[in-house]
Structure 1
Amino acid sequence: MACLTSAIEPLRAANEIAGEEAFRWKILAEGDAPIASSAGVFFAPDLRLAEATGPETALDHVFFVASPDGCFEDPIKANAALQRHLRAGGRIGAFSGGIFPLARSGLMAGQPMSVHWCYEAAFQAEFPEIDILQTVLSDQGACQTASGAAAVFDLMLNHIEARLGPAITTETACWFQHPFVRGASVRQKLPALGNAASHDMLPPKVAQAIEVFARHIEEPIQISAVAEEIHMSSRSLERSFKRATGQSPLKYYRQMRMKEARQLVLYGRDSITSIAYTVGYSSPAAFQRHYREIYGISPQKERQAKTSLKITDDSVLPSM
């Protein structure tokens, strides 16, 4: 819902500020039934997808808005409609979890995509052939993707500037107290685990160690080897981590691996045993024990809970 409204509201405001209907939008769906958002708010579609694509509709963009496990009820018919849209000169994109059904369509093969950090592990596991961008936006070829709701707002402001100029864009941003407009080169902010700071606020050596950890999720590395790689003693690295994050480097590293595992549990399709091996555990039992210690629930039960919480086929997902 946040992604959808973040697309519509700046365009609505820009029209009002400019005194003209520079932008129009429609909510598309496969059928006529209202679509439930993850917040339980329903949106009524304006048009069916099959009726809204092709030269006669003159749509500039079609954006996917969905949860990560979203899919078409009739993929062949939906893909045919989207192909008509592309042949007519339109572009396709996706917001947040909508990148999953977009990638499953196969229409954007070879196109890099901006992937929200909380979906990165699951997306990479399902689509290893797609280049993942860690920027807030991507705008390449016929594809535009935005990593989250605020990024969608940025994308719409970029469209407003291209159509109506910087003055209207600035006023639109100020209407919503959106302090600045981010472009496709801006990287996503990542939270430092168990800390109120974001990743870019950490001391340089701690940030370097975390980057080494990230490269060794599947094949764990000793903390002493990490310290040696970033030219620190193990004792100094330990002290630096505790000052910056309140945790030891070993505990932080384990949390990183569990965070990636949880993405795969919630949004991926691999078995729990396969996920354990993917995040560097040789014993699924040890993986499940550490998972319960951090999240208070087994990976099997959390996956089952995600399914039982849905109000439609691909609606409500637990928070990360």
Structure 2
Amino acid sequence: MVTLLNGVPRQPKRFIFVLLDQFTLLSFAGAVDTLRIANRLGGANLYKILYAGEEGDEAKCSSYARIKLHMNFEELNREDTIVICGGIDVQKATTKKLINWLRREARRGVTIAALCTGAYAMGKAGLLDGKRATIHWENQDSFSEEFEEVKLTKSVFVIDGNRMTTAGGTASIDLMLTIVANDHGEELASQIADQQIYTSIRTDQDSQRLSIPTRIGVRHPKLSQVIRMMEQNLEEPISPSILAQEVGMSTRQLERLFRRYLNRSPKRYYMELRLQKARNLLMQTDMSVINVALSCGFASPSHFSKCYRAHYDTTPYRERGAQSTRVKD
């Protein structure tokens, strides 16, 4: 049922999707289509959808599709909602012009949301300082390093006042369904989800990554507990003996557990987690190689370089150089 204001249908709520260069199509499409279906099932134009970009008349996503733009960075209405659609190489796409526009619109009280890596642009503009937020799990390490003032979570989406962020992928659907439910009732949101064959609407309490047992394909409570401790202590690694003690096992029992289920030692598994974080930081931040090493629990750059090369068959310095070349291409 369409919400009325003094007996007259409300003006459609405007959503301005800001399409950054190489934005992720899945997150964008999920959000837009949720609002489109809301209009169809609601029997009125509940939402007006507009596409904006920094310049030109179209934007290109990471899968090379191009979307025609309705507008550039113009002054908006206070009741509008900006939705920043991020994707690959969001640092490069976050320009001074974009940051200044976001800050100006934020001062005017406009609600601002971000899909996928779009949270980076919000963070760079200082719009998430002191607020809860989320970003795709692959970008969490680099985001935490750069924006210490932001209370980063692992939720699929976060709403903190008039700031909203999602983890990417289908999380944009969950956020938009929540917005529709708040605006026009849960019944309409459920009908939209049914149209999308979306069987479970997630809330901001749901985590964006699979549980550890599902991820590793093993349901063993003590193994999951140890891996969780490892993931939470990458900067200051815990020794296998202490990990074993924490779950009531001997070091030898812990070794056997990892060998049996993961075909590697606890030390090796821990090292791979640290190196994976290091690779993310090298590819997504401007942190020096020395600082990356320290952030991942390596006391010396030489040891870090040796371990990195053994695992990835290249050095951290070459990895950083290769990433710069890919960005230019």
Report the TM-score when normalising by structure 2. Answer: 0.83
User: In structure 1, what is the equivalent of residue 67 of structure 2?
Assistant: 43
User: In structure 2, what is the equivalent of residue 168 of structure 1?
Assistant: 188
**Counterpart mapping for 1:175-190 below 5 A:** 175-190=195-210
Cα distance in 2 for partners of 1:242, 1:69 equals 40
Cα RMSD, aligned residues only: 2.4
Do structure 1's residue 6 and structure 2's residue 18 form an aligned pair? Answer: no
> Which whole-Å deviations, capped at 9, do the CAs of 1:157-209 have from their partners, x for residues lacking one?
112222333333223222222220001111222475xxx93269642211221
Cα distance in 1 for partners of 2:304, 2:115 equals 32
User: In structure 2, what is the equivalent of residue 104 of structure 1?
Assistant: 124
Cα distance in 2 for partners of 1:45, 1:69 equals 21
**Counterpart mapping for 1:278-289 below 5 A:** 278-289=295-306
Q: Which of 29, 36, 41 is 2:53 aligned to?
A: 29
Q: How far has the Cα of 1:124 moved from its partner? A: 1.0
Cα distance in 1 for partners of 2:109, 2:253 equals 57
Bigger shift: residues 84-93 or 214-223: 84-93
Cα distance in 1 for partners of 2:110, 2:268 equals 48
Report the TM-score when normalising by structure 1. Answer: 0.85
Gap runs ≥5 in structure 2: 1-24
User: In structure 2, what is the equivalent of residue 239 of structure 1?
Assistant: 256
SS, match of residue 137 in structure 2: coil
Cα distance in 1 for partners of 2:43, 2:77 equals 29
| Alignment CA distance shift 1:187-1:199 (3 Å) | farther
Bigger shift: residues 14-23 or 295-304: 295-304
Greater relative contact order, per chain length (Cα 8 Å cut-off, separation 6+): 1
CA contact (8 A) 1:60 1:89 kept: no
> Structure 1 or 2: larger strand share?
2
> Which whole-Å deviations, capped at 9, do the CAs of 1:106-128 have from their partners, x for residues lacking one?
12321111132211111111112
CA contact (8 A) 1:154 1:183 kept: yes
> Which whole-Å deviations, capped at 9, do the CAs of 1:87-107 have from their partners, x for residues lacking one?
544211211211111100012
Q: Any runs of at least 4 consecutive aligned residues in structure 1 with deviations exceeding 6 A, and if so which?
A: none
| Alignment CA distance shift 1:214-1:22 (3 Å) | same
> Which whole-Å deviations, capped at 9, do the CAs of 1:278-318 have from their partners, x for residues lacking one?
21112323322322333333333333333333478xxxxxx
Gap runs ≥5 in structure 1: 313-320
**Counterpart mapping for 1:14-25 below 5 A:** 14-25=38-49
Cα distance in 2 for partners of 1:53, 1:300 equals 44
CA contact (8 A) 1:54 1:81 kept: no
| Alignment CA distance shift 1:289-1:99 (3 Å) | same
| Alignment CA distance shift 1:80-1:278 (3 Å) | closer
- Report % sequence identity: 26
Do structure 1's residue 134 and structure 2's residue 154 form an aligned pair? Answer: yes
